[in-house]
Amino acid sequence: MARQLGRAGVKVVLAARDPRKGEGAAAKLRSEGLDAQFLKVDVTDKKDHAAASAFLQENFGRLDILINNAGISAEPLGAGKVSTTTEDTIRRTFDTNFFAPVALTQALLPLLRKSEGGRIVNMSSILGSQTLQADPKSGIYDFKSLAYDASKTALNSFTIHLAHELRDTKIKVNSAHPGWVKTDMGTDAAPMEIPEGAKTGVDLALVGDDGPTGGFFHLGKTLPW
Active site residues: 148
26/119 Cα distance (integer angstroms): 22
Strand, coil or helix: 68: strand
Burial call 145-163: b when 16+ CB within 10 Å, e when fewer:
bbbbbbbbbbbbebbeebb
What is the Cα–Cα distance from 5 to 36, expressed in whole angstroms? 10
Which letter, b or e, does each residue of 195-219 get, where b requires 16 or more Cβ atoms within 10 Å of its Cβ? eebbbbbbbbbbbeeeeebbbbbbe
What does the alpha-carbon distance between residue 111 and residue 203 come to, in Å, rounded to a whole number? 21
Spatial separation of the C-alpha atoms in residues 137 and 111, rounded to whole Å: 43
Phi, psi values for residue 96, rounded to 5°: -85, -40
